[in-house]
Amino acid sequence: MNPAWLLPEYIEDILPPYARQAEGLRRRLLDLFDGYGYDLVCPPLVEYLDSLLTGAARDLDLKTFKVVDGLSGRLLGVRADMTPQAARIDAHLIGHEGATRLCYAGPVLRTKPVGLASREPFQVGVELFGHAGIEADLEIQEILLAALASAGVPDARLSLGHAGLFRALVAGASLSEARAAALFTALRGKDVPEVKALSADLAAPWQAAFCQLPGLYGGVEALARARAVLPDQPAIRQALDQLDRLFAAGNAQGEASVAVDLSDLRGDGYHNGATFAAYAGGQARAVALGGRYDGAGSVFGRSRPATGFSLDLRQILGCLALPVPRGGILAPRLEDPSLRAKVTELRATGERVVVELPGQEAHGAELGCDRRLLKTATGWIVNV
């Protein structure tokens, strides 16, 4: 029998002082989003399954825990991603005709880990609904780069991709859904031999285009090379034009290294435009993912353009410097009005004041206090 304290694999507590660091980061990011006009929403942890998976690809379905509702008998899902929930809220509950800006923060649960990551990421993100133009993608990119800087992510870098470009190639080559899914997986894993095998029987321009994608990464030279080697189709030109603007704006912002990677098909498969994947120095797994996913609210009666991103707070904590435990002031437990007044005054200024309990004097070091309240002839003072 497993001990009662044992947690499931890839599920873990966040302990002091990391929990305080995480909460401080959450507040800082939500304040940042508020400054851009994003309103906070708090979706439920569980929903009916068809609502959670609306417009999403099979990737998200496989990540979602499913349970039967004891009240309705219907199948529920524990959210694996908060983006579809934000799309439901925009389409069904808010109903703005113009742009809607929403942000959120909370845990999600996934059936399997990615690598050694937690199965319970803590998502903090923003979603912008109602504007199909590149201006919305530029705003989302600006906020993402500002969030990476605010969080103190070391050696942050942003990889730009475009799901619409892949979809244009699939349409041009008239691929079946199964072949397109296999190529998507191979490109996402940068499995060049598999990409060549899957595209070997395609017409020359499409076969060459799929084989070129894994090598089309870097800066402006990668975009120039893409224009030279990819088919000259309106949807492909539009995708490359959008990446040109995002690349230029991102590098001008100067808060992270920005590059393009045309085979970086990250996310949960529902994206259909420009995509973002942010990384920290020394880590292979993205700390933030996002992009455009137009039409996600159609099942709720409103097909709206949409773009956004979410960061994984747990992943970000793993790349930050170790937090310094917060010190405090130890106060004696006395029925003294002047002592009580002093403690109240100190707490009002943001100080942490711990009152020592009777019989706990031998365990004082565990309280983490680096100062003590002492009574003098002139009153109570903090002694270092």
Rounded average pLDDT over 298-305:
83
| Domain range 8-155+280-324, its CATH number among 3.20.20.410, 3.90.180.10, 3.30.930.10, 1.10.3720.10 | 3.30.930.10
pLDDT at 282 over 80: no
- Return the minimum-mean-pLDDT range out of 57-61, 118-122, 239-243, 279-283: 57-61
pLDDT at 52: 85
- Note whether 136 and 293 are within 8 A (CB): no
Residue 128: what are its φ and ψ, rounded to 5°? -120, 120
**157-161, 280-284, 295-299 — which is least confidently predicted?**
295-299
| Weakest mean pLDDT among 84-98, 147-161, 254-268, 298-312 | 254-268
For strand 65-68 and strand 46-48, is the pairing parallel, antiparallel, or unpaired?
unpaired
Band of pLDDT at residue 352, cut at 50, 70 and 90: very high
∠ Cα 7 10 13 (to 5°): 55
Please say if the pLDDT value at position 69 is more than 70: yes
Mean pLDDT computed over every residue of the chain: 92
* Furthest C-alpha separation in the chain: 93
Average pLDDT over residues 53-73: 83
Q: 3-state SS of the chain: helix, strand, coil percent to 5?
A: 40, 20, 40
Q: How confident is the model at residue 251 (pLDDT cuts 50, 70, 90)?
A: very high
Q: What is the pLDDT of residue 1?
A: 67
- What is the DSSP code string of 309-369? EEEEHHHHHTTSPPPPPP--EEE-----HHHHHHHHHHHHTT--EEEPPTT-GGGGGGGT-
What's the pLDDT tens digit per position in 184-238? Answer: 989 988 899 999 999 999 998 999 999 999 999 999 999 999 999 999 999 999 9
pLDDT of residue 21: 96
* Torsion-angle region of 220 (φ positive above 0: left; ψ -120 to 50: alpha; else: beta): alpha
Q: Residues 72-123: pLDDT tens digits?
A: 999 999 999 999 999 999 988 898 889 999 999 999 999 998 877 899 999 9
* pLDDT at residue 115 in the model: 77
Say how many C-beta atoms besides its own lie within 10 A of residue 228's C-beta: 9
Structure confidence at residue 222 (pLDDT): 96
Please tell me the pTM assigned to this model: 0.93
List the chain domain ranges.
8-155+280-324, 157-266, 329-383
What pLDDT, on a 0 to 100 scale, did the predictor assign at position 103? 98
Q: Is 254 left (phi over 0), alpha (psi -120 to 50) or beta?
A: left
At 343, give phi and psi (nearest 5°): -60, -45
